[in-house]
Amino acid sequence: MSSFSVSALVSSTLHAVGGGWLAIEAGSFFRPTLADAARDHWWVLVVAGLVFVLVRCWPRLAVCARIADTDTSVEIRVCDLFSQAGSVVLGSNTTFDTTTEDGTISPSSTQGQFTLRFCDSLENLDRQLEDSLTSVSAVSLDAEGKPYGKRASYPVGTVASAICNGRRAYFLAIARLNAHRVASASWDDVLDALPRLWESIRSRGGIEPVVVPVLGSGFSRIDGTREELIREIVKSFIAASRAGYFCEQLTIAIAPQDYRRGHLDLRGLGSFLEHECRYAGRRQPTTPHGAPAQPLESETS
Protein backbone atom coordinates (compact mmCIF):
# COMPACT_ATOMS: atom_id res chain seq x y z
CA MET A 1 0.00 0.00 0.00
CA SER A 2 1.76 3.18 -1.17
CA SER A 3 -0.73 5.51 0.52
CA PHE A 4 -3.51 5.28 3.08
CA SER A 5 -6.90 4.15 1.76
CA VAL A 6 -10.05 3.77 3.90
CA SER A 7 -11.63 1.27 1.49
CA ALA A 8 -8.48 -0.85 1.47
CA LEU A 9 -8.39 -0.67 5.28
CA VAL A 10 -11.98 -1.90 5.60
CA SER A 11 -11.44 -4.68 3.06
CA SER A 12 -8.24 -5.87 4.74
CA THR A 13 -9.89 -5.76 8.18
CA LEU A 14 -12.76 -7.96 6.98
CA HIS A 15 -10.26 -10.42 5.54
CA ALA A 16 -8.35 -10.48 8.84
CA VAL A 17 -11.55 -11.00 10.87
CA GLY A 18 -12.62 -13.75 8.48
CA GLY A 19 -9.25 -15.45 8.87
CA GLY A 20 -9.51 -15.18 12.64
CA TRP A 21 -13.01 -16.68 12.65
CA LEU A 22 -11.83 -19.53 10.46
CA ALA A 23 -9.15 -20.31 13.02
CA ILE A 24 -11.76 -20.24 15.80
CA GLU A 25 -13.98 -22.67 13.87
CA ALA A 26 -11.04 -25.01 13.42
CA GLY A 27 -10.21 -24.74 17.11
CA SER A 28 -13.83 -25.57 18.03
CA PHE A 29 -13.22 -29.10 16.79
CA PHE A 30 -10.96 -29.61 19.80
CA ARG A 31 -12.79 -27.26 22.18
CA PRO A 32 -16.50 -26.92 21.38
CA THR A 33 -17.03 -23.93 23.70
CA LEU A 34 -14.50 -21.78 21.83
CA ALA A 35 -16.98 -20.61 19.17
CA ASP A 36 -19.59 -19.61 21.78
CA ALA A 37 -16.99 -17.60 23.70
CA ALA A 38 -15.93 -15.86 20.50
CA ARG A 39 -19.53 -14.90 19.72
CA ASP A 40 -19.91 -13.32 23.15
CA HIS A 41 -16.73 -11.29 22.58
CA TRP A 42 -16.97 -10.69 18.85
CA TRP A 43 -15.76 -7.12 19.20
CA VAL A 44 -12.37 -8.38 20.42
CA LEU A 45 -11.94 -10.19 17.12
CA VAL A 46 -12.84 -7.06 15.15
CA VAL A 47 -10.49 -4.83 17.15
CA ALA A 48 -7.66 -7.36 16.87
CA GLY A 49 -8.19 -7.56 13.11
CA LEU A 50 -8.20 -3.77 12.80
CA VAL A 51 -4.99 -3.40 14.82
CA PHE A 52 -3.30 -6.14 12.77
CA VAL A 53 -4.23 -4.45 9.50
CA LEU A 54 -3.15 -0.99 10.70
CA VAL A 55 0.27 -2.29 11.72
CA ARG A 56 0.70 -4.30 8.53
CA CYS A 57 -0.75 -1.92 5.95
CA TRP A 58 -0.06 1.58 7.26
CA PRO A 59 2.11 3.24 4.61
CA ARG A 60 5.82 3.37 5.28
CA LEU A 61 7.31 6.84 5.17
CA ALA A 62 10.99 5.89 5.34
CA VAL A 63 13.36 3.08 4.44
CA CYS A 64 17.00 2.93 5.44
CA ALA A 65 20.00 0.63 4.96
CA ARG A 66 23.69 0.70 5.78
CA ILE A 67 26.19 0.26 2.97
CA ALA A 68 27.96 -3.05 3.65
CA ASP A 69 31.60 -2.76 4.78
CA THR A 70 31.17 0.97 5.52
CA ASP A 71 29.88 3.23 8.29
CA THR A 72 27.58 5.07 5.88
CA SER A 73 23.82 4.67 5.63
CA VAL A 74 21.30 5.67 2.98
CA GLU A 75 17.73 6.68 3.77
CA ILE A 76 14.77 7.38 1.50
CA ARG A 77 12.19 9.40 3.42
CA VAL A 78 8.92 11.18 2.71
CA CYS A 79 9.51 14.56 4.32
CA ASP A 80 10.15 18.24 3.91
CA LEU A 81 13.71 18.59 2.62
CA PHE A 82 14.56 21.21 5.21
CA SER A 83 13.12 19.31 8.19
CA GLN A 84 16.10 16.95 8.25
CA ALA A 85 19.41 17.69 9.96
CA GLY A 86 22.49 18.15 7.82
CA SER A 87 23.63 19.93 4.69
CA VAL A 88 21.16 20.18 1.82
CA VAL A 89 21.72 19.74 -1.90
CA LEU A 90 19.82 22.08 -4.21
CA GLY A 91 19.38 21.56 -7.93
CA SER A 92 20.45 24.82 -9.54
CA ASN A 93 21.21 26.28 -12.97
CA THR A 94 24.53 26.63 -14.77
CA THR A 95 24.59 30.41 -14.21
CA PHE A 96 23.69 30.11 -10.53
CA ASP A 97 20.93 32.70 -10.73
CA THR A 98 19.25 33.12 -7.36
CA THR A 99 16.58 35.82 -7.53
CA THR A 100 12.94 34.83 -7.03
CA GLU A 101 11.52 38.33 -7.51
CA ASP A 102 11.39 38.32 -11.32
CA GLY A 103 10.46 34.65 -11.76
CA THR A 104 13.96 33.45 -12.64
CA ILE A 105 13.84 31.04 -9.69
CA SER A 106 10.44 29.75 -8.66
CA PRO A 107 9.64 30.36 -4.98
CA SER A 108 8.20 26.83 -4.84
CA SER A 109 11.42 25.17 -6.05
CA THR A 110 13.86 23.75 -3.51
CA GLN A 111 16.34 26.52 -4.31
CA GLY A 112 13.64 29.15 -3.97
CA GLN A 113 12.48 27.69 -0.66
CA PHE A 114 16.02 27.72 0.71
CA THR A 115 16.48 31.34 -0.34
CA LEU A 116 13.20 32.47 1.20
CA ARG A 117 13.48 30.44 4.41
CA PHE A 118 17.16 30.77 5.28
CA CYS A 119 18.79 33.66 3.40
CA ASP A 120 18.41 37.08 4.96
CA SER A 121 20.38 38.72 2.17
CA LEU A 122 20.42 37.71 -1.49
CA GLU A 123 23.61 39.75 -1.91
CA ASN A 124 25.34 37.67 0.76
CA LEU A 125 24.20 34.45 -0.92
CA ASP A 126 25.47 35.59 -4.32
CA ARG A 127 28.79 36.64 -2.82
CA GLN A 128 29.28 33.24 -1.20
CA LEU A 129 28.45 31.46 -4.46
CA GLU A 130 30.88 33.64 -6.40
CA ASP A 131 33.65 32.99 -3.85
CA SER A 132 32.97 29.27 -4.12
CA LEU A 133 33.32 29.41 -7.92
CA THR A 134 36.53 31.44 -8.19
CA SER A 135 38.61 28.44 -9.33
CA VAL A 136 36.08 27.19 -11.91
CA SER A 137 36.21 28.29 -15.54
CA ALA A 138 33.02 29.74 -17.00
CA VAL A 139 31.70 30.69 -20.42
CA SER A 140 30.24 34.16 -20.92
CA LEU A 141 26.74 34.16 -22.45
CA ASP A 142 25.54 36.93 -24.74
CA ALA A 143 22.59 39.19 -23.98
CA GLU A 144 20.51 37.70 -26.78
CA GLY A 145 20.66 34.17 -25.37
CA LYS A 146 20.20 35.32 -21.76
CA PRO A 147 18.88 38.88 -21.48
CA TYR A 148 18.54 38.78 -17.69
CA GLY A 149 20.49 37.88 -14.55
CA LYS A 150 23.95 36.37 -14.51
CA ARG A 151 25.77 35.47 -17.71
CA ALA A 152 28.75 33.43 -16.48
CA SER A 153 27.77 29.83 -17.34
CA TYR A 154 29.55 26.95 -15.60
CA PRO A 155 29.73 23.28 -16.65
CA VAL A 156 26.94 20.91 -15.62
CA GLY A 157 27.91 19.29 -12.34
CA THR A 158 29.62 22.38 -10.94
CA VAL A 159 28.99 22.76 -7.21
CA ALA A 160 28.90 26.02 -5.29
CA SER A 161 28.33 26.11 -1.55
CA ALA A 162 26.87 28.69 0.81
CA ILE A 163 25.88 28.89 4.46
CA CYS A 164 22.77 30.84 5.43
CA ASN A 165 21.69 31.08 9.07
CA GLY A 166 23.87 28.11 9.93
CA ARG A 167 22.48 25.87 7.16
CA ARG A 168 24.95 24.73 4.52
CA ALA A 169 23.67 24.22 1.00
CA TYR A 170 25.38 22.73 -2.03
CA PHE A 171 24.07 24.30 -5.23
CA LEU A 172 24.44 21.73 -8.01
CA ALA A 173 24.36 23.02 -11.60
CA ILE A 174 22.01 20.75 -13.56
CA ALA A 175 19.62 22.88 -15.60
CA ARG A 176 20.20 25.51 -18.26
CA LEU A 177 18.04 28.61 -18.37
CA ASN A 178 16.81 29.89 -21.74
CA ALA A 179 15.91 33.43 -22.74
CA HIS A 180 12.43 33.02 -21.23
CA ARG A 181 13.65 31.88 -17.76
CA VAL A 182 12.66 28.28 -18.45
CA ALA A 183 15.01 25.63 -17.06
CA SER A 184 15.76 22.34 -18.79
CA ALA A 185 18.14 19.43 -18.30
CA SER A 186 18.71 15.95 -19.68
CA TRP A 187 19.06 12.54 -18.12
CA ASP A 188 22.77 12.55 -18.96
CA ASP A 189 23.13 15.87 -17.16
CA VAL A 190 22.01 14.24 -13.91
CA LEU A 191 24.23 11.20 -14.39
CA ASP A 192 27.23 13.45 -15.09
CA ALA A 193 26.49 15.81 -12.22
CA LEU A 194 26.06 13.26 -9.41
CA PRO A 195 29.70 12.00 -9.23
CA ARG A 196 30.93 15.59 -9.26
CA LEU A 197 28.56 16.42 -6.41
CA TRP A 198 29.91 13.64 -4.17
CA GLU A 199 33.50 14.52 -5.00
CA SER A 200 32.87 18.17 -4.16
CA ILE A 201 31.37 17.21 -0.80
CA ARG A 202 34.32 14.90 -0.18
CA SER A 203 36.89 17.62 -0.88
CA ARG A 204 35.13 20.67 0.52
CA GLY A 205 32.57 19.53 3.09
CA GLY A 206 32.51 17.74 6.41
CA ILE A 207 31.17 14.28 7.18
CA GLU A 208 27.82 15.55 8.43
CA PRO A 209 24.57 14.07 7.03
CA VAL A 210 23.53 15.23 3.57
CA VAL A 211 19.92 15.68 2.48
CA VAL A 212 19.13 15.65 -1.22
CA PRO A 213 15.80 16.07 -3.04
CA VAL A 214 14.85 13.97 -6.06
CA LEU A 215 17.17 15.94 -8.32
CA GLY A 216 15.76 16.72 -11.74
CA SER A 217 12.18 15.82 -10.89
CA GLY A 218 10.82 19.35 -10.74
CA PHE A 219 11.63 22.43 -12.78
CA SER A 220 14.50 20.76 -14.64
CA ARG A 221 11.92 18.89 -16.73
CA ILE A 222 13.94 15.69 -17.05
CA ASP A 223 12.34 12.89 -19.03
CA GLY A 224 12.36 10.22 -16.32
CA THR A 225 10.30 9.05 -13.37
CA ARG A 226 11.05 9.95 -9.79
CA GLU A 227 11.73 6.31 -8.97
CA GLU A 228 14.32 6.12 -11.75
CA LEU A 229 15.99 9.28 -10.48
CA ILE A 230 16.06 7.99 -6.90
CA ARG A 231 17.64 4.73 -8.04
CA GLU A 232 20.37 6.60 -9.91
CA ILE A 233 21.07 8.82 -6.88
CA VAL A 234 21.37 5.73 -4.67
CA LYS A 235 23.69 3.88 -7.07
CA SER A 236 25.89 6.92 -7.61
CA PHE A 237 26.21 7.64 -3.88
CA ILE A 238 27.04 4.03 -3.03
CA ALA A 239 29.74 3.96 -5.72
CA ALA A 240 31.25 7.17 -4.31
CA SER A 241 31.08 5.84 -0.74
CA ARG A 242 32.90 2.67 -1.78
CA ALA A 243 35.76 4.87 -2.99
CA GLY A 244 36.17 6.47 0.44
CA TYR A 245 34.23 7.68 3.46
CA PHE A 246 32.95 11.26 3.17
CA CYS A 247 29.42 11.32 4.61
CA GLU A 248 27.80 9.55 7.55
CA GLN A 249 24.31 9.46 6.04
CA LEU A 250 22.51 10.43 2.87
CA THR A 251 18.79 11.14 3.07
CA ILE A 252 16.84 11.32 -0.19
CA ALA A 253 13.83 13.50 0.62
CA ILE A 254 10.61 12.75 -1.25
CA ALA A 255 8.14 15.64 -1.26
CA PRO A 256 4.94 14.61 0.57
CA GLN A 257 2.76 15.81 -2.31
CA ASP A 258 4.61 13.53 -4.73
CA TYR A 259 4.08 10.58 -2.41
CA ARG A 260 0.38 11.34 -1.99
CA ARG A 261 -0.05 11.40 -5.77
CA GLY A 262 1.13 7.80 -5.87
CA HIS A 263 4.25 8.50 -7.92
CA LEU A 264 6.42 6.23 -5.79
CA ASP A 265 6.46 2.69 -4.42
CA LEU A 266 8.43 3.09 -1.19
CA ARG A 267 8.31 -0.63 -0.42
CA GLY A 268 9.83 -1.44 -3.78
CA LEU A 269 12.45 1.25 -3.30
CA GLY A 270 13.22 -0.23 0.11
CA SER A 271 13.93 -3.64 -1.43
CA PHE A 272 16.11 -2.00 -4.08
CA LEU A 273 17.98 0.00 -1.42
CA GLU A 274 18.65 -3.10 0.70
CA HIS A 275 20.03 -4.99 -2.30
CA GLU A 276 22.25 -2.14 -3.51
CA CYS A 277 23.66 -1.41 -0.07
CA ARG A 278 24.44 -5.07 0.50
CA TYR A 279 25.90 -6.07 -2.85
CA ALA A 280 26.71 -3.13 -5.16
CA GLY A 281 30.45 -2.64 -5.51
CA ARG A 282 31.18 -4.70 -2.42
CA ARG A 283 34.82 -5.52 -1.86
CA GLN A 284 35.65 -9.09 -2.77
CA PRO A 285 37.55 -11.38 -0.38
CA THR A 286 41.28 -11.36 -1.07
CA THR A 287 43.86 -14.08 -0.57
CA PRO A 288 45.12 -13.95 3.05
CA HIS A 289 48.63 -12.61 3.49
CA GLY A 290 51.17 -15.45 3.49
CA ALA A 291 48.87 -17.96 1.78
CA PRO A 292 49.97 -19.26 -1.64
CA ALA A 293 47.79 -18.14 -4.53
CA GLN A 294 48.49 -21.41 -6.44
CA PRO A 295 48.95 -24.97 -5.20
CA LEU A 296 52.52 -25.98 -4.52
CA GLU A 297 54.12 -28.35 -7.02
CA SER A 298 54.31 -31.08 -4.39
CA GLU A 299 50.56 -30.79 -3.81
CA THR A 300 49.73 -31.41 -7.47
CA SER A 301 52.05 -34.40 -8.01
Q: Are the beta carbons of 252 and 212 closer than 8 angstroms?
A: yes
Do 91 and 169 lie in one domain? The reply is: yes
Do 82 and 221 lie in one domain? The reply is: yes
- C-alpha dist (Å) from residue 229 to 67, 117, 163, 177, 252: 19, 26, 27, 21, 11
Kindly state whether residue 291 falls inside one of the protein's structural domains: no
pLDDT range class, residue 300, cuts 50, 70, 90: very low
Percentage of the residues of the chain whose pLDDT score is greater than 70? 74
Instruction: Please tell me the least confidently modeled range out of 39-43, 139-143, 158-162, 168-172.
Output: 39-43
Which CATH number is 129's domain given? 3.40.220.10
- C-alpha dist (Å) from residue 53 to 1, 16, 25: 11, 7, 21
- Residue-range definition of the domain harbouring residue 11: 6-57
Q: Are the beta carbons of 172 and 90 closer than 8 angstroms?
A: yes
- pLDDT, position 112: 95
- pLDDT, position 77: 97
Question: Does the pLDDT of residue 98 top 90, yes or no?
Answer: yes
Mean pLDDT of 211-223: 87
Kindly state whether residue 76 falls inside one of the protein's structural domains: yes
What average pLDDT is seen over the chain?
A: 84
Question: Does the pLDDT of residue 147 top 70, yes or no?
Answer: yes
pLDDT, one tens digit per residue, over 33-45 is 655 555 665 556 5
pTM, rounded to two decimals: 0.78
Kindly state whether residue 288 falls inside one of the protein's structural domains: no
Give the residue, 17 or 241, on which the prediction is more confident. 241
Give the residue, 46 or 110, on which the prediction is more confident. 110
